[in-house]
């Protein structure tokens, strides 16, 4: 057995979600089959969020996966973001494990704002 096969044994070599940049995320968010979810804290949401965001489900709160499953439809693409992309990758993994089709915005709302994309309060 090679070192590589030892390293990858039992691990998925590919992410279970798609991570995209701001421009692609904006296109995905406009699709009627997409639900946009902000996975930051409520105070971060209140300070400014994407206009397309339909839900704010804090990934750091206990019961995140259960709340997401009770709230979000599994027949839609779930597009998620956070501040910088770290929490949204965690959330994306968790949602994908629950059976959701997930697209995550790499770089988060920071990258969104750097491209002068709109934010609402």
Domain ranges of the chain: 15-114
Please report the pLDDT score of residue 14 as a whole number.
55
Nearest to 99 by CA among 119, 64, 72: 72
What number is the average pLDDT over the span 104-109? 98
Look at domain 15-114 and name its CATH class.
Answer: alpha beta
- The model's pLDDT over 10-43, given as tens digits with 9 standing for 90+, comes to 344 455 899 999 999 999 999 999 999 999 999 9
- The model's pLDDT over 44-86, given as tens digits with 9 standing for 90+, comes to 999 999 999 999 999 999 999 999 999 999 999 999 999 999 9
Q: Which two tokens stand for residue 81?
A: 């973001």
Which are the contacts of 79, defined by CB distance < 8 A and separation ≥ 6?
Answer: 25, 28, 29, 34, 35, 36, 37, 52, 102, 103, 104, 105
Known catalytic residues? Answer: 82
């Amino acid at each position: 057995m090679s070192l590589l096969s030892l390293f990858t044994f039992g691990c998925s070599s590919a992410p279970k979600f798609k991570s995209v940049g701001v421009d692609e995320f904006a296109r995905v968010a406009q699709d009627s089959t997409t639900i946009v979810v902000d996975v930051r804290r409520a105070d971060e949401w209140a300070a400014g969020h994407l206009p397309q965001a339909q839900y704010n489900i804090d990934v750091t709160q206990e019961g995140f996966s259960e709340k997401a499953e009770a709230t979000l439809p599994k027949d839609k693409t779930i597009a998620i973001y956070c501040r910088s992309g770290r929490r949204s990758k965690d959330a994306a993994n968790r949602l994908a494990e629950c059976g959701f089709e997930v697209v995550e915005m790499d770089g988060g709302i920071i990258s969104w704002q750097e491209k002068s994309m709109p934010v609402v309060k």
